[in-house]
């Protein structure tokens, strides 16, 4: 690690004495193909559900942060106006797939800084009316314009993992089997049908070795959470709060020349900040929601987080250790592969799942004795840097 990286990490981790942050309300819409619904309509439903779950007077909300990628100007204000909360400070954030998680990061920082006691973070995205097939690259991204789109990047990374660690195509496909099985237990998920290994392997090739069922779909949806400081919890909270022990956000460093395609330094670096802030290590994490935009992505993320040693996650999945009921359940919600991936809403929906699990409200997906969970998002790419944004939240019961 360079001196500059060490400095950034020390600065990010050292915030002793700042107010503790809690999640007191969560809500989300159905994820899936909903081309007739608008961002305002989806956002309103998610925000209202979170406010009802928190059981507080909506007028207690002091500020809102809204994550989205393609929803145009002032989408956060458009949603807040729908729920009667016009007039408060609203910040719209775009950080590709980490947009929703970056909204939570904004709310977390506002409370940690002592500026606010009650903050709403939401994420919203309507994609199916806009895209068919792979998401269109930005015009300035010369790598993407030459073919480095999301499916091709994760296919190359899958190949490198296969070459380096002997991972098989079947082992990768098992990630999708697991996540779609979990999604079949989640009423909010886009895909409600479990699939077999044979069905995944027989699905249409997208970018070899990745098949259609190993790609997250294009989705519409919204999610929201209500965050509170400790003193607001004491004064206002109607239900048991869940501690938001840490949120970390980093962006990719310059990436000259060939890189290690089988490992994610950005995920690893962000995890070090999150663990330091939360005062925990990977051994304390009982389950995780990770950014499985492709089957190979889940492998890179779990290994990058240090939850499983490098090169071993595909065999870990094959042995059933990442299942609900296994040693370390990964993506109990169904993940992006099963629940769907409305970009801006994804990071918020991950925290919704963590809270439901930590409260013991996850129904048939419930993980026994869940005490500490981690949510990981990694947003997009930009030519010349390792990744656009990486966000990690750690929650404790």
Which residues are annotated as catalytic?
97, 341
Per CB under 6 A, the list member of 80, 85, 97, 330 interacting with ligand COA is 97
Tell whether residue 390 is a contact of ligand COA (CB under 6 A): no
Contacts of 172 (CB under 8 A, 6+ apart): 158, 209, 210, 214, 295, 296, 299, 314
Tell whether residue 132 is a contact of ligand COA (CB under 6 A): yes
Tell whether residue 151 is a contact of ligand COA (CB under 6 A): yes
Q: Which residue has the tokens 């987080």?
A: 305
Q: Can you tell me the distance from the alpha carbon of 280 to that of 33, in angstroms, rounded to the nearest whole number?
A: 38
Tell whether residue 98 is a contact of ligand COA (CB under 6 A): no
Do residues 171 and 318 lie in contact, with contact meaning Cβ atoms separated by under 8 Å? Answer: yes
Instruction: Return the axis-axis angle of helices 99-112 and 343-359, rounded to nearest 10°.
Output: 60
**CB-nearer residue toward ligand COA: 134 or 383:** 134
Tell whether residue 341 is a contact of ligand COA (CB under 6 A): yes
Per CB under 6 A, the list member of 134, 194, 201, 280 interacting with ligand COA is 134
Q: Can you tell me the distance from the alpha carbon of 272 to that of 352, in angstroms, rounded to the nearest whole number?
A: 23
Total interface residues for ligand COA by CB under 6 A: 17
**CB-nearer residue toward ligand COA: 24 or 173:** 173
Q: Can you tell me the distance from the alpha carbon of 255 to that of 65, in angstroms, rounded to the nearest whole number?
A: 30
Tell whether residue 217 is a contact of ligand COA (CB under 6 A): yes
Stretch near ligand COA under the rule CB under 6 A, chosen from 4-12, 66-74, 213-221, 272-280: 213-221
38-77 footprint of ligand COA as x/- string (CB under 6 A): ----------------------------------------
Tell whether residue 191 is a contact of ligand COA (CB under 6 A): yes
Q: Which DSSP category does 97 fall into?
A: B
Q: Whole-number minimum distance, CB 376 to ligand COA, in Å?
A: 12
CB atoms within 10 A of CB 255: 16
Q: Whole-number minimum distance, CB 37 to ligand COA, in Å?
A: 16
Q: Can you tell me the distance from the alpha carbon of 79 to that of 64, in angstroms, rounded to the nearest whole number?
A: 10
Stretch near ligand COA under the rule CB under 6 A, chosen from 60-68, 83-91, 126-134, 229-237: 126-134
Tell whether residue 78 is a contact of ligand COA (CB under 6 A): no
Q: Can you tell me the distance from the alpha carbon of 353 to that of 266, in angstroms, rounded to the nearest whole number?
A: 24
209: preceding bond cis by omega (within 30 degrees): yes
**CB-nearer residue toward ligand COA: 111 or 348:** 348
String of DSSP letters for 163-197: HHH---HHHHHHHHHHHHHHHTT-TT-S--S---H
Tell whether residue 31 is a contact of ligand COA (CB under 6 A): no
Q: Whole-number minimum distance, CB 35 to ligand COA, in Å?
A: 11
Q: Which DSSP category does 23 fall into?
A: E
Joined together, the tokens standing for residue 187 give 């009423």
Q: Can you tell me the distance from the alpha carbon of 35 to that of 126, in angstroms, rounded to the nearest whole number?
A: 7
Do residues 58 and 85 lie in contact, with contact meaning Cβ atoms separated by under 8 Å? Answer: yes
Which element (helix H / strand E) includes 47?
A: helix 39-54
Stretch near ligand COA under the rule CB under 6 A, chosen from 136-144, 159-167, 209-217, 276-284: 209-217
Tell whether residue 245 is a contact of ligand COA (CB under 6 A): no
Per CB under 6 A, the list member of 16, 133, 140, 369 interacting with ligand COA is 133
Do residues 280 and 372 lie in contact, with contact meaning Cβ atoms separated by under 8 Å? Answer: yes
β-strand 63-67 against 389-396: which pairing, if any? unpaired
Per CB under 6 A, the list member of 13, 126, 218, 244 interacting with ligand COA is 218
Q: Can you tell me the distance from the alpha carbon of 187 to that of 324, in angstroms, rounded to the nearest whole number?
A: 16
Per CB under 6 A, the list member of 150, 183, 226, 394 interacting with ligand COA is 150
Per CB under 6 A, the list member of 56, 111, 215, 389 interacting with ligand COA is 215
Tell whether residue 194 is a contact of ligand COA (CB under 6 A): no
Q: Which DSSP category does 29 fall into?
A: P
**CB-nearer residue toward ligand COA: 40 or 220:** 220
List contacts with ligand COA (CB under 6 A).
Answer: 97, 132-135, 150-151, 191, 206, 212-213, 215-218, 293, 341
């Amino acid at each position: 690690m360079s001196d500059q990286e060490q400095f950034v990490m020390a600065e990010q981790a050292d915030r002793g004495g700042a107010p503790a942050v809690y999640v007191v309300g969560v809500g989300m819409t159905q994820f899936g193909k909903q081309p007739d619904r608008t961002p305002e309509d989806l956002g309103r439903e998610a925000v209202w559900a979170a406010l009802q779950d928190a059981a507080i007077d909506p007028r207690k909300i002091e500020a809102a942060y809204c994550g989205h990628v393609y929803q145009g100007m002032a989408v956060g204000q458009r949603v807040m106006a729908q729920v009667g909360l016009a007039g408060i400070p609203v910040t719209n954030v775009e950080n590709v797939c980490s947009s929703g998680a970056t909204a939570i990061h904004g709310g977390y920082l506002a409370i940690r800084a002592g500026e606010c006691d009650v903050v709403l973070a939401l994420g919203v995205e309507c994609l199916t009316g806009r895209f068919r097939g792979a998401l269109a690259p930005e015009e300035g991204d010369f790598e993407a314009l030459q073919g480095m789109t999301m499916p091709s990047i994760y296919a190359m990374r899958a190949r490198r993992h296969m070459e380096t660690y002997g991972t098989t195509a079947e082992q990768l496909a098992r990630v999708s089997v697991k996540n779609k099985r979990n999604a079949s237990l989640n009423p909010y998920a886009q895909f409600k049908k479990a699939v077999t290994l044979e069905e995944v392997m027989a699905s249409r090739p997208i970018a070899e070795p990745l098949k259609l069922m190993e790609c997250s779909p294009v989705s519409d949806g919204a999610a929201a959470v209500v965050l509170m400081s400790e003193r607001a919890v004491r004064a206002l909270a109607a239900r048991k709060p869940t501690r938001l022990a840490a949120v970390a956000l980093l962006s990719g460093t310059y990436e000259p020349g060939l890189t290690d395609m089988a490992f994610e330094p950005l995920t690893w670096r962000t995890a070090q900040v999150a663990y330091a802030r939360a005062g925990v290590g990977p051994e304390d994490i009982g389950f995780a929601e990770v950014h499985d935009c492709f089957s190979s992505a889940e492998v890179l993320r779990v290994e990058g987080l240090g939850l499983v040693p490098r090169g071993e996650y595909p065999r870990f999945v094959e042995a059933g250790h990442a299942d609900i009921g296994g040693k370390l359940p990964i993506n109990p919600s169904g993940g992006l592969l099963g629940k769907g991936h409305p970009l801006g809403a994804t990071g918020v929906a991950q925290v919704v799942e963590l809270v439901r699990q930590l409260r013991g409200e996850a129904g048939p997906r419930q993980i026994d004795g869940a005490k500490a969970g981690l949510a990981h998002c990694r947003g997009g790419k930009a030519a010349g840097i390792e990744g656009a944004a990486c966000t990690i939240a750690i929650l404790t019961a």
